[in-house]
Copies of this chain bind each other. A is one copy, B any other.
Amino acid sequence: MGTDGQREERHSTVTVVSDGTGSHTGRARPTLEDVAAHAQVSRATVSRVINGSPKVSEDVRASVEESIRALGYVPNRAARTLVTQRTDSVALVVAEPDTRVFTDPFFGGIVRGVSQELSETGLQLVLSMVQTEEDHHRFERYVQAGHVDGVLLISLHAADPLPTALSRVGIPAVIGGQPLGGGDGLPYVDIDNRSGARAAVSHLLGTGRERIATIAGPQDMCAGVDRMAGYRATLGRSRFRRSLVEVADFTEDGGHACMRALLDRHPDLDAVFAASDLMAAGALRALRLAGRRVPDDVAVVGFDDLELARYTDPPLTTVRQPTVVMGREMARLLLGLQGLRQETARSVLLPTELVIRESA
């Protein structure tokens, strides 16, 4: 039993109605009903036009669209969500326990990529940082409450319970970066660490290096393991030696220490592949202190292509990660899941690019 009588009057006089609590402007925004009246059709028809239903005649559609434009109508998201049960928004969760997000080479690029892809579909991006356990609970409730249609997960650490929680809720989700603990079957997007490492080591071999060491990443992380595997496979049986390998934690200090150790064991090494730019920076420092020239005496290749790679001395040859593409791909994968219910798309591995500067 409509409130139509009342309404008819309203939009003909353009009265500034009540203006309740939260509205910023004095002008009341037009509703579906206003558009309908203006176009002389029913609410349903306007709704059909807005949602692109094919069951609308061309002329009616045109006139409705005209009215929409004339009134500056924009659908009310809340009302729509209430009835459709869709929120038209997805969450991007950064599950970084430390304050290390700054360091995370992924963050900025991924956000941009996701953002690009979503804006084309009109989906809203909700950002959520979960650090504490409290945060985790809050977020789980949040998802359970149906506040978003899908979840994008990045900076996930080892035993994070989030993937499990999400797949229990049954909400579409995609992981960015290495899903260390299996990720509970959720699809993920990552870069091809193995081939990245291969490209780096091939480059070293190609420029005539013979004794190529590596500073590997943590072996309990996918990135660490895969980059190491790529190194090993590319070197091949004949050239590989256990003693050419040192493992650190992706940090500058770690890289520094490893380089010293390697230098001690193999004073004659002529190249080193570091599994992260930070470690490469540490290696550079160690080499400098040891009086080796880079790349003349020892060539160095890093991984990540952080900004700092351009400013080390000498600038670092490194493996670039396509972070923006990664973000886009994550979003695309998620959108696929939304449409076709579960297990649609499989995980994606993105190619890397070797950026050659002066260190190798």
| A interface residues (Cβ-Cβ under 8 A, vs B) | 20-25, 29, 72, 74-79, 81-82, 84-87, 89, 92, 99, 101-104, 107-109, 111-112, 115-116, 119, 124-129, 135, 138, 141, 144-147, 149, 169-172, 252, 278, 281, 285, 288, 306-308, 310-313, 324
Contact = CB atoms under 8 A, between A and B. Distances in A.
A288 B314 CA distance: 12
A311 B312 contact: yes
A84 B307 contact: no
A84 B79 CA distance: 12
A357 to B, nearest CB: 13
B92 A102 contact: no
A23 B85 CA distance: 7
A29 B170 CA distance: 14
A111 B129 contact: yes
A145 to B, nearest CB: 4
B92 A101 contact: no
A310 B252 contact: yes
A75 B128 CA distance: 19
Contacts of A79: 78, 82
17 contacts: A20-B85, A22-B149, A24-B170, A24-B172, A72-B144, A76-B145, A77-B81, A78-B82, A101-B112, A102-B108, A119-B138, A124-B126, A125-B128, A252-B310, A278-B311, A288-B313, A311-B312
A45 B55 CA distance: 44
A22 B128 contact: no
A143 to B, nearest CB: 9
A111 B127 contact: yes
What does DSSP make chain A's interface, helix, strand, loop or mixed? mixed
A215 B72 CA distance: 49
Given A29-B145, A74-B141, A84 B311 contact: no
A131 to B, nearest CB: 9
B112 A21 contact: no
Contacts of A77: 78, 81, 145, 147
Contacts of A74: 141, 144-145
A25 B149 contact: no
Contacts of A20: 84-85
Contact of A169 (B25, B288, B307): B25
Contact of A86 (B22, B99, B306): B22
B101 A108 contact: yes
A124 B78 CA distance: 14
Given A84-B21, A115-B129, A141-B74, A311 B308 contact: yes
Contacts of A87: 22, 78
B135 A119 contact: yes
Given A78-B78, A78-B82, 14 more contacts: A20-B84, A21-B86, A22-B85, A22-B86, A22-B146, A24-B169, A24-B172, A74-B144, A77-B145, A89-B126, A92-B127, A111-B127, A252-B310, A308-B311
